[in-house]
A and B are shown apart, each in its own frame.
Chain A
């Protein structure tokens, strides 16, 4: 058994971001506690040793565990409770890491190609301990900002070239300037943490992993525009983020970073949390304001913009979590430093939630202007099972689909808009050859349709009609003229809708028709789903050459559509086939296609 000194130097870090928790990290922490306790190491030491950290992004390999002995760190991937015993026995007690469970080269390539500003501390510091944040220079940015004039803070942000990370990419400094000059008192700063895009969890992870960076950002923004009150509008579906944010706000208050006369600057600022009730539309700024005011979350027409007339009719700035979390680093290191990263018009880094049919799913932070190829292949490791990359959806359900032919394009605001997509909040859903583009559009449209607030006609009824047309195409009931009708609907909905949701809802359809029109035509004219996804258009046939005559398909078929005798290849009766796919799943030789 190792001696007491060794145990004191032992640090175990377990990822307890949402991804980690879902993969069972709490059970792993408990197991480490039990195992170390069983071996005579006192429980209080164990408690100190096991350190909770926020998400470090590499969700595909959760649970991730760092074992740090005497400063030497090893990282394990895919750890479950049954593996803990061997790690304790061999690594902690004998000093011999379990090599086959250590992270592989993809862990390093996943992280090495990233540029981390926002996520730098996520996964490394304890988000529930303000001391950990202060130890890495936390709240220095706020102190620096408060020591100068508000106009100087605005100038610094303007020179950084930071643009809103919520989707539209409006220059942050300019937004602040407009609000700071607007007449009205009091003014408000709102942090938009109503992250609702399917597959997106950037804001969630930033708050869960480093909540103080958001609070510090809000202090800086509040000071710049002259607001002494801030709201964090966060969805109630993020309980862990809310829990950590509450701790962070309370700690910041007791340390004097929130409240009256912050750090002796004479500036008063405090923050309140408002939990959203789960409506996607409340991410739209005017709907968000309505929701805080206790009204139904519905957007209103702009102008007037919130910078002039926002919350309670007063000048208000609404910034996204990511935008705000960038501020401490920009103030500390200077706008010029930030502007040196990225492209001419898109500065700094951007966090993306990499999901879909890709090997290394997770959270990544990359410099603006990086190519799609680098993200998908170098960081993401390419598609699962080495399938062919087909397209990537950026910008969430309102974004567009970018085909493989554009893989070399840079990822920045203008380039994405140029191909009919958008930056959005940073969702990136990767599709491979087994994805049906019509089906995919249908998925995103069913989301936007059910989340439409119902206020304006094109969005409420128009997206419903588009969804119905897409549904009939995927059911093999598509008609000539359907594509044209989709285009007409899409164009009109974009042009006449009230808010960003309606204006962008048709994007997935318009972009897939633009790049994958032949797939739509195959569904309608030939009755085929090229990716074999749409159930009604699947046709199962037995490849006689591949068939080993085992009869498994025959036994699996629930509708008696398969004829088979021993030593004879099976065949499928199309009339009886209900296209359930049971034979396809049952065949061990991929003889059914």
Chain B
């Protein structure tokens, strides 16, 4: 056994895990499911939703798996009658202050709270008390905020502060009236928000949704096409959500090695050009004062002819290639190869260097 590995027991089965793991990570590695609402692997453990509680031998109180580090020979039970009852109670409390309007909710089918309510067979009907009745906030073009659906898992505020470091939103208020909001409840504008939509991407319920995609289809109706963002050379991946041959919205690809689901405003919301009527779909060749649509063969032929003319007139070394940082590494490589082999020049550069 290497130094970094320790042995723990989960539900009676021995398993090896990393010394620095939390119980939640170790369980995931061992293929054991523990429910959680406030956990997002990109964020620091929080321990707010209390759903990942597990029993640990020798400890009187249940512990949250997301925050508790593993220890040598720890014995963990992730499912028991007591634990299930406590979890059900927490879900019940959450649903007691929730609109429970799943039928028309944007998030239906992709909602962690809905799934847990189903899994644990509970609703919030035992409690008759106050429910939030706050208006939907659409004070900006990108993000719709329905505070009534917020469960205060803190994922939006944490991703804004820990990952994006924009500090747009934070939990405000106290007690039952705590809620995530901007400073002084001001509308989101470019002054206080980057509109990266990271908060939307991590929200487990319908509290934060992409405004542009609202009402355009359920999550399960979408064909999800994984692609690489074309805006810059970072190479972030995401899923284009396609319904009826139209890109309806963009969702995160958490498994992407480059960006782990994180995106900026361009990647997440800059897809309008795809179906825009003004989009240029064919090459254009200037004839007189006008641009005239042309085929790729026609266009490439023209470009090749012009290059040959220039090389003949001025020599190969007078020609260079300058590629865009919006290109992928492969595209940049191809350009450099083409300039060096086909043109025969070493004048190659990229705009990112300027």
Contacts and interface: CB of A to CB of B under 8 A. Distances in A.
Chain A CB within 10 Å, residue with most, of B67, B89, B152, B179: B89
B127 A465 contact: yes
B69 to A, nearest CB: 7
A142 to B, nearest CB: 38
Given A454-B152, A492-B86, A465 B96 contact: yes
A462 interface: yes
Interface in B143-191: 151-152, 154, 170-171, 173-179
Given A301-B67, A465-B96, A492-B86, A454 B174 contact: yes
Nearest to A472: B128
A457 B126 contact: no
Given A461-B94, A496-B62, A451 B67 contact: no
Contact of A457 (B49, B68, B173, B174): B49
Given A303-B69, A460-B175, A468 B128 contact: yes
A296 B178 CA distance: 12
B174 A458 contact: no
A303 B68 contact: yes
Interface in A267-301: 279, 281, 296, 298, 300-301
A453 B172 CA distance: 9
B288 interface: no
Contacts of A492: 86, 89-90
B68 A468 contact: no
Contacts of A464: 97, 129-130, 175-176
What is the predominant secondary structure among interface residues of chain B facing chain A?
loop
A298 B173 CA distance: 12
Given A492-B86, A495-B86, A451 B126 contact: no
Contacts of A452: 174-176, 178
A485 interface: yes
B53 A455 contact: no
Contacts of A300: 47, 67
A81 B80 CA distance: 69
Contacts, number: 100
A106 to B, nearest CB: 40
A449 B47 contact: no
B151 A457 contact: yes
B338 to A, nearest CB: 52
A281 B50 CA distance: 19
A4 to B, nearest CB: 60
A557 B341 CA distance: 105
Contacts of B178: 452-455, 460
Interface in B1-49: 45-49
B64 interface: yes
Contacts of B151: 457
Nearest to B44: A300
Contacts of B126: 485
A453 B174 contact: yes
Nearest to B94: A457
A175 to B, nearest CB: 20
Given A449-B176, A451-B174, A465-B127, A457 B47 contact: no
Contact of A450 (B47, B50, B171, B174): B174
A498 B45 CA distance: 13
A281 B178 CA distance: 14
A77 to B, nearest CB: 40
A456 interface: yes
A457 B171 contact: no
- Size class of the A contact interface (CB-based, 8 Å): 20 to 34
A462 B93 contact: yes
A497 interface: yes
A504 to B, nearest CB: 13
B175 A454 contact: yes
A496 B96 CA distance: 17
Nearest to A281: B174
B61 interface: yes
A496 B49 contact: no
B176 A496 contact: no
A457 B90 CA distance: 7
A458 B96 CA distance: 12
Contacts of B171: 296, 298, 454-455
Interface in A435-473: 449-458, 460-465, 468
Given A454-B152, A455-B154, A460-B178, A496 B47 contact: no
A455 B64 CA distance: 14
Contacts of B90: 457-458, 492, 496
A176 B138 CA distance: 52
Contacts of A454: 152, 171, 173-179
B149 to A, nearest CB: 14
A449 B173 CA distance: 12
Contacts of A449: 175-176
B125 to A, nearest CB: 12
Interface string A492-526: 10011110000000000000000000000000000
Contacts of A488: 89
A457 B175 contact: no
A498 B175 contact: no
Contacts of A303: 68-69
A460 B179 CA distance: 11
A12 B335 CA distance: 94
A453 B177 CA distance: 10
B45 A301 contact: yes
A312 B171 CA distance: 21
Interface string B225-262: 00000000000000000000000000000000000000
A496 B63 CA distance: 8
A504 B71 CA distance: 28
A461 B174 contact: no
A477 to B, nearest CB: 10
Interface string B96-114: 1100000000000000000
A26 B67 CA distance: 52
B295 to A, nearest CB: 60
Given A296-B171, A451-B175, A460-B176, A468 B130 contact: yes
Contacts of A456: 47-50
Contacts of B170: 296
A488 B151 CA distance: 22
A577 B102 CA distance: 46
Contacts of B64: 301, 498
B69 A301 contact: no
A457 B50 contact: yes
Nearest to A488: B89
A497 B47 contact: no
Contacts of B49: 456-457
B161 to A, nearest CB: 9
5 contacts: A463-B175, A465-B96, A468-B129, A492-B86, A496-B62
Interface of B: 45-50, 53, 61-62, 64, 67-69, 86, 89-90, 93-94, 96-97, 126-130, 151-152, 154, 170-171, 173-179
Nearest 5 Cβ contacts at the A-B interface: A454-B178, A301-B67, A468-B129, A301-B47, A461-B93
Interface of A: 279, 281, 296, 298, 300-301, 303, 449-458, 460-465, 468, 485, 488, 492, 495-498
Given A298-B171, A456-B50, 12 more contacts: A301-B68, A303-B68, A450-B174, A450-B175, A452-B175, A453-B174, A457-B93, A464-B129, A464-B175, A465-B129, A496-B89, A498-B50
